[in-house]
Structure 1
């Protein structure tokens, strides 16, 4: 599978309500799953291999506190997919945008990392950044408000 085919599969899944998809081609198998917060029963019936390497425990992820959820607005810019949000291009660099900053269509607002790929989130219209609802390193869900542009 080529990188473009993998990206196309990810985009197709993000545009749908699918929870899981598995694609096999040229000896490769790509399995994409969406974290819905509930366990999805396996339909394969296959037993895990005993010679499989043990999984490393995941590092705890930062999630926004329930009180930090902003009220929904038509001016909100939402996460296009689930992942980790980054407000700047690198840890030492300033953020892409700041509250009060004017932005134009196509301005990079932040990036969302999913499956080791950084996906830019850009402004879809001109305006001024009114609020930023997340911090660098937060885990975000697809559709979650990230910023507000007025």
Structure 2
């Protein structure tokens, strides 16, 4: 089962307000579940800094971003969607930890309803942490990056 099919079923779950769905075909069995409480997805090794510095085990909402902001400026998601670190699958990420970024530079893409929304730097700085992992569902106010 490919990502496109999984996304189709996830959309169906949302449309029908289902909390769980299990799909079985020849060799694949996929179980999709959603609940009222969001669970964080740990970033893959080498792409992000210490996830504990970005949040405390749950997706960080805007009002909770102050903890990470004490160590730098937190860049949060402007909308609900899927976080993408690169313009294409297996492509080079827009930014990495330690990169110097300029105001207006693209940091990531958040896909919402088939629209790709670029998240850009509001000021010059250095990427200190990447708080989201590629393909992760993020909601409005979720911490994406910490800059200094």
TM-score, normalized by length of structure 1? 0.56
Give CA deviations for 1:14-43 in whole Å, capped at 9, x if unaligned: xxxxxxxxxxxxxxxxxxxxx9xxx9xxxx
Structure holding more helix per residue = 2
Query: What does 1:63-102 align with in structure 2 at a 5 Å threshold?
Result: 63-65=39-41, 67=57, 71-73=67-69, 75-102=73-100
SS in 2 for 1:110: strand
SS in 1 for 2:68: coil
| Corresponding pairs, count | 98
Asked if 2 retains the 8 angstrom alpha-carbon contact of 1:78 and 1:142, the reply is yes
Query: RMSD in angstroms over aligned alpha carbons?
Result: 3.0
**Unmatched 5+ stretches in structure 2:** 1-13, 24-30, 42-55, 61-66
Measured in 2, the distance between the counterparts of 1:140 and 1:83 equals 6
2:126 to 125, 128, 140: 128
Q: Which runs of 4 or more aligned residues in structure 1 lie more than 4 Å from their structure 2 counterparts after TM superposition?
A: 56-63
Query: What does 1:16-55 align with in structure 2 at a 5 Å threshold?
Result: none
**Unmatched 5+ stretches in structure 1:** 1-34, 40-55
Asked if 2 retains the 8 angstrom alpha-carbon contact of 1:89 and 1:95, the reply is yes
2:137 paired residue number: 139
Comparing both chains, which one has the higher relative contact order based on Cα–Cα distances under 8 Å and sequence gaps of 6 or more? 2
Larger radius of gyration: 1
Asked if 2 retains the 8 angstrom alpha-carbon contact of 1:78 and 1:143, the reply is yes
1:111 paired residue number: 109
